[in-house]
Amino acid sequence: ISPELLIKHPLQNSWTLWFYKNDKQKQWEENQREISTFDTVEDFWALYNHIEAASRLQSGCDYSLFKAGIKPMWEDTKNKSGGRWLINLTRQQCINDLDSYWLETLLCLVGEAFDEQSDDICGTVVQIRTKGDKLAVWTGDLRNNDGILKIGMKYKERLGLPNKVCVMGYQAHADSMVICGSMPAQNRFTV
């Protein structure tokens, strides 16, 4: 038997998949649960093939994939100085593209698609919401302007989002933490 079939393909990083379900009787942190951690391509697929598709989750649920050791929350030391590239999906995109966008995002992260900028990647979150689903890639350092822009451009290219029609914004977690109500945080960068 070829060694290729016996040896799993290692990933550059270990990743943890988290699932959030909005139970209002519990604290936010209690609703965020680790599902599994993996560090090979085969184990990534074993997990992905096993779980419910994002589009089939109830409103209020999230999937998050973060490097092992980083919690999917602003307050984590690896996240708090950074921000996120955020896509607010249109109604049509929610229906047609959510699952493919989410998978493409996962492939970008586990495959280290951002080259040397991949070190600044913390994770990704998909949020299923009645008002419109959201997809975001989180990075760790707001000061890394060049890296943030390269990540944004590469991400937009991988998702196949048309350049002039779709503008993607990057928001600092520090800004998101202090906004009131449903006002969106300002975009520090756009692509």
Whether the Cβ atoms of residue 119 and residue 130 lie closer than 8 Å to each other: no
Of 15-23, 29-37, 73-81, 102-110, which part binds other proteins (CB under 8 A)?
Answer: 102-110
Sites for other proteins among residues 21-40 (CB under 8 A): none
Query: What are the contacts of 109-116 at 24+ separation with CB within 8 A?
Result: 109/15, 109/65, 109/137, 110/11, 110/13, 110/15, 110/41, 110/44, 112/12, 112/13, 113/154, 113/158, 114/150, 114/151, 114/154, 114/155
**118 lies in the binding site for other proteins (CB under 8 A):** yes
**180 lies in the binding site for other proteins (CB under 8 A):** no
Name the residue among 43, 17, 12, 42 with its Cα closest to residue 111: 12
Hey, what's the torsion of the CAs at 161, 106, 12, 78, to 10 degrees?
90
Q: How far is the CB of 41 from other proteins (least distance, A)?
A: 5
Name which of 64 and 118 has its Cβ closer to other proteins.
118
Of 8-16, 85-93, 138-146, 169-177, which part binds other proteins (CB under 8 A)?
Answer: 8-16
**107 lies in the binding site for other proteins (CB under 8 A):** yes
Q: Which of 10, 69, 132, 160 touches other proteins by CB under 8 A?
A: 10
**Size of the residue set binding other proteins (CB under 8 A):** 20
Cα separations in angstroms, 98 against 52, 95, 123, 140, 173: 13, 7, 17, 25, 23
Of 29-37, 71-79, 88-96, 103-111, which part binds other proteins (CB under 8 A)?
Answer: 103-111
Of 28-36, 80-88, 115-123, 163-171, which part binds other proteins (CB under 8 A)?
Answer: 115-123
Sites for other proteins among residues 37-76 (CB under 8 A): 41-42, 44-45, 49
User: Facing residues of 65 across strands?
Assistant: 17, 124
Amino acid (one-letter) located at 59: S
**153 lies in the binding site for other proteins (CB under 8 A):** no
Task: Return residues touching other proteins (CB under 8 A).
Answer: 5, 9-12, 41-42, 44-45, 49, 104, 107, 110-113, 115-116, 118, 158
